[in-house]
Amino acid sequence: MDQGRQRLDKWLWFARVVKSRTLATRLVCDGHVRLNGTRINVPARLVQPGDVLTIALERQVRVLKIVDGGDKRGPFEQARQLYEDLTAGQIPSAERHATA
């Protein structure tokens, strides 16, 4: 596999967007994920740093820019390092900590 590239379903699970890889596969197959603006329905599609995912979840739409492919599923803080959250209305994490 190319360095930094990862299967979409695996990346969604590593980044803790969903609780299981099965749910990640279903999310993609049901057409709830866009990669760089294009709807994707193949969970094996490779993603890489710089790609932007638009994910329609049950109660929100999230826009995530991939920073790293990851090599395993870790705790939340480690998973949070895999992406930059571009979701409208989100306060960047640096500002969130400065105002807290």
CA angle 90, 92, 94 (to 5 degrees): 150
- Predicted pLDDT at 1: 45
Asked if residue 18 lies in contact with residue 32, where contact means CB atoms within 8 angstroms, the answer is: no
Tell me the CATH number at 83: 3.10.290.10
**Per-residue pLDDT at 70 exceeds 80:** yes
Render pLDDT for 2-33 as a digit per residue (tens, 0 to 9).
567 999 999 999 999 999 999 999 999 999 99
pLDDT classification of 99: cutoffs 50, 70, 90: very low
Any domain includes 99: no
pLDDT in tens, 25-55: 999 999 999 999 999 999 999 999 999 999 9
Q: What percent of the chain has pLDDT over 70?
A: 85
How many whole angstroms separate alpha carbon 18 and alpha carbon 53? 14
Is residue 24 included in any domain, yes or no?
yes
- Give percent above pLDDT 90 in the chain: 79
Domain residues for the domain of 61 are: 6-94
Q: Does the residue 84 lie in any domain?
A: yes
